[in-house]
Amino acid sequence: MPLKSFDPKQLADEGISIELVRKAQEALEDLKETQMRCNDSLEDKVVESFPVLHEELSTFLKLCGYYKTNIQKPWQRNFPPSVKERKMRAHWKKSLKTDPSHPSTMKN
- Give residue-wise pLDDT tens across range 30-75: 999 999 999 999 999 999 999 999 999 999 999 999 999 888 887 7
Structure confidence at residue 29 as a pLDDT band (50, 70, 90): very high
| Continuous segment of H or E residues that includes residue 33 | helix 18-43
User: How far is residue 8 from each of residues 4, 22, 45, 69, 73, measured CA to CA in Å?
Assistant: 12, 12, 47, 24, 20
pLDDT for the residue 30: 93
Pick 99 or 82 by higher pLDDT. 82
- For the chain, the distance separating the N- and C-terminal CA atoms, rounded to the nearest angstrom, is 49
